[in-house]
Amino acid sequence: MRKLFFIIAFLLSLSGGVNSQVINKVPLSPRITGYTINAKLNPKAKSVEGIMEAFWVNQTTETVPDIQLHLYMNAFKSCKSTFYKESGGTPGKDPIDIGHVDIKSFTSKDGTDFLPLVRYIHPDNNDKSDSTVIEVMLPKPAKPGDTVAVSISFVTKLPSKIRRTGYNGDFFFVGQWFPKFGVYEPAGMRYRNIGGWNCHQFHANSEFYSDHSVYDVKITVPKEYVVGTGGMLLGEADVDANTKVQTWRAEDIVDFAWTAWPGYAVFTDKWRNVNIRLLIPKTRLEQVGRQFTAIKNTLEYFDKNVGPYPWPHVTIVDPPAYASGAGGMEYTTLFTSESFYKIPGSIHLPEMVTVHEFGHAYFMGILASNEFEEPWMDEGINSFLEERIMDHYWGENSGMIDLPMLKISDESISRISYARSENRQVVSNNEYSWNYPYGTYGMVTYQKTATWLYTLMGIIGEDATNEVFREYYKRWAFKHPSGKDFVNVVNDVVKRIYGDKYGPDMNWFFDQTLYGTGICDYKVVGIVNNWQNPKIKKDITSGRSMAIDSLNKSVARLERAGDLIFPVDVLVHFIDGKEIHESWDGKSRFKDYTYYGEKNILWVKIDPDFKIRMDVDIINNSMTENPDRVPLRRFSDKIISFLQFFISIVTL
């Protein structure tokens, strides 16, 4: 009993409130918001009952008259929500299928009832049937330095169709589940002219934006359930014979999600001081090693090329196949991967998802950009890092698929998705996430961004690119950077390394790629080899033939067929093996490289090292007088063999 008393006292001292430090010695972020939640999972009702105490500190110099909170779960209330209107489909009609959050009580710290003051607002599109954002006009406006502390009792019913969050049978993934403060942005922050709350509705094509917070969460679940969260487990105690309560603590993260399922097997590993916890279905144990390798590689790469991972813990959740809707999502110190039973080691999908989702710990976890408004800053930048990591650790040409007959790099998938999209010029990256028309969100946000970042790396080099990310981390970790802040970092770093080599700044690059919709296409249009005065002249008096003074002229003809202008390398190869490197600023529509006195040109290549990944057609980047047809003949041989075997196998 005495021992128990000391343990409880110790735990209480650890979880001594959201203002004290438990995980890191010093706070990594300003304490703007904090949440203490007592949550109880009701597996039968598929709901979570919560009592929450939360605060928001007005750290601005402005007086704020209201508070705004997200009620994300209401997106799953009916097909009339903004989320479902945009995505199509329906959460279902049955009460057990739909998801919603019901606020039972809402008071201020001094006991003022806020419930009558709650009003649903629709800041994005005035969609009155949406109920994912509430506003409370404060009885007393919050002055600079004031803390608005609230106490909310709520019940969150989880939806049956898992779209990041929800349940299936006894599996639960509990995300976007509690009333959560928006971000108050004072004038001058990001693109703000006047201060105000940034609290968008829950859209189909959007994610989230939050202040870094401290979470103290107690979770009560039936004893057989295995729980995973983005926090650090401080303690566990029995409530009764059938239930247990776990105390979790998380610091400086932008969201707190958790999962509970009796079918998880738990594995742990360590990378330096980071404790890695993996929750995976018991039947999928052959994937454990792959997941640990993937995250360790990612930690190593980010640590070296971006910045240190500042938490001593991370949790990977690999959900079961029948709950795959929860897979591939990030909550900073907890993320969900997506492997499959018996997925072959040559297909690196589980690794790719793990690398990508962990990467979000940096790109919007630490560098907390606004995913609603500038989705390229998290998904696009993170895809770029993911592709570099995949191709670095799993093979330059086989980062994604490594079969004997087919190898595909992760980066090439992005480039193909962008370059071959019919909608690649419809919209730029400079768009709110829900405004992307006809299915362009994924292609523009993920793939186009990654492709232009590769192009940037092709121009400024890998070392300078890594320096950009290190500097970006240094300046903006645990803050809210905007797109222009990232551009400024690039400008400063490039200037520092290269001076004026690329002009006074790199805005010319971002104007074309980030803010533009043009395409890049450089092509070789011809090779001309001919002799000036090639004729043999006959001497009239002697009757002898004599060669007149002649000179070989060879020309490489190039064209800029696209709108985008990048400096490109040109490599000209002559029949005697001589090669000449040219640097073309890429500006003019046509460019001839003319050589006198050289041998004939055998081939010409624009961008021979494929640095300009935005070029939408790499076939026309080169031309040769002697094309190698061996691969084509081999291709045709293999097609013939395949078809012969096919018809012989499928007929009797």
Partner 1 sequence: MKIFKALDSGCHRSLKAWKGVLVFWFISLCLVSMVALPMKGVMKTGLGQSAITEKLMNGLNTEVISDLGILSKGLFRYFFTGLMISFLLWLLINAFITGGLFNSLKSNEEKFNTGEFFRASARNFLPFLGITLIIGTILFLLALILIAVPMQGVISTENPDESVPWLILIISISFYILVSQIFVLVADYARAWQVKNEKPDLFRALRFGFSRTFSRFLSSFPMMLIIWLIQTLFVLLVFKIIGIWKPTSGIGVFGLFLLSQVLFYIRFLLKAWRYGSVTSLKELNDPLPVSEATVKI
Which positions touch partner 1 (CB under 8 A)?
168-169, 171, 263, 281, 283-284, 320-322, 340-342, 397, 404-408, 412-413, 415-416, 419-420, 603, 605, 616-625, 627-641, 643-652
At position 641, the amino acid (one-letter code) is: S
Residue 398 beta carbon to partner 1: minimum distance, rounded to whole angstroms:
11
3-state secondary structure of 86: helix
CA pair distance 479, 489, nearest whole angstrom? 14
> Which residue lies nearer to partner 1 by CB, 304 or 629?
629
> Which residue lies nearer to partner 1 by CB, 221 or 413?
413
- In terms of residues, how long is the chain? 652
CB 65 within 8 A of CB 137: yes
Number of alpha helices (DSSP H) and beta strands (DSSP E) in the chain? 12, 33
> Which residue lies nearer to partner 1 by CB, 596 or 635?
635
> Which residue lies nearer to partner 1 by CB, 322 or 508?
322
Residue 617 beta carbon to partner 1: minimum distance, rounded to whole angstroms:
5
> Which residue lies nearer to partner 1 by CB, 74 or 398?
398
What stretch of H or E contains 10? Answer: helix 2-14
> Which residue lies nearer to partner 1 by CB, 129 or 620?
620
In order, the DSSP letters of 608-649 are: TT---TTBS-SGGGEEESS---HHHHHHHHHHHHHHHHHHHH
* Beta bridge pairs of residue 591: 558
> Which residue lies nearer to partner 1 by CB, 136 or 564?
564
Token pair in block for residue 561: 């067929």
3-state secondary structure of 529: strand
Token pair in block for residue 420: 């071959």
At position 615, the amino acid (one-letter code) is: D
Residue 557 beta carbon to partner 1: minimum distance, rounded to whole angstroms:
12
Residue 62 beta carbon to partner 1: minimum distance, rounded to whole angstroms:
51
Residue 386 beta carbon to partner 1: minimum distance, rounded to whole angstroms:
18
Sign of the C-alpha dihedral, residues 206, 210, 213, 219?
A: negative
The DSSP code for 539 is P
CA pair distance 350, 639, nearest whole angstrom? 31
Residue 227 beta carbon to partner 1: minimum distance, rounded to whole angstroms:
17
Residue 454 beta carbon to partner 1: minimum distance, rounded to whole angstroms:
13
> Which residue lies nearer to partner 1 by CB, 271 or 340?
340
Q: How would you class 363 by CB atoms within 10 Å of its CB: exposed for 0-12, middle for 13-18, buried for 19 or more?
A: buried
Neighbouring residues of 603: CB distance < 8 A, sequence distance ≥ 6: 527, 572, 573, 622, 623, 624, 625, 626
CA pair distance 564, 515, nearest whole angstrom? 12
> Which residue lies nearer to partner 1 by CB, 102 or 617?
617
Residue 527 beta carbon to partner 1: minimum distance, rounded to whole angstroms:
8
> Which residue lies nearer to partner 1 by CB, 262 or 461?
262
> Which residue lies nearer to partner 1 by CB, 462 or 625?
625
Sign of the C-alpha dihedral, residues 220, 224, 228, 234?
A: positive
CA dihedral 373, 434, 315, 294 (to 10 degrees): -90
Residue 524 beta carbon to partner 1: minimum distance, rounded to whole angstroms:
8
Residue 372 beta carbon to partner 1: minimum distance, rounded to whole angstroms:
32
> Which residue lies nearer to partner 1 by CB, 534 or 627?
627
Angle at 211 between CA 209 and CA 214, to 5 degrees: 130
Residue 585 beta carbon to partner 1: minimum distance, rounded to whole angstroms:
23
Residue 345 beta carbon to partner 1: minimum distance, rounded to whole angstroms:
16
The count of C-alpha atoms lying within 13 angstroms of the C-alpha of 226, restricted to the half-sphere facing its C-beta, is 17
Residue 424 beta carbon to partner 1: minimum distance, rounded to whole angstroms:
12
The CA distances from residue 400 to 179, 280, 350, 361, in Å, are: 39, 22, 10, 22
Residue 571 beta carbon to partner 1: minimum distance, rounded to whole angstroms:
10
CB 207 within 8 A of CB 357: no
The CA distances from residue 590 to 110, 455, 557, 558, 621, in Å, are: 74, 22, 7, 6, 14
> Which residue lies nearer to partner 1 by CB, 505 or 582?
582
> Which residue lies nearer to partner 1 by CB, 233 or 580?
580
CB 23 within 8 A of CB 29: no
Distance of CA 152 to the CA centre of its chain: 32
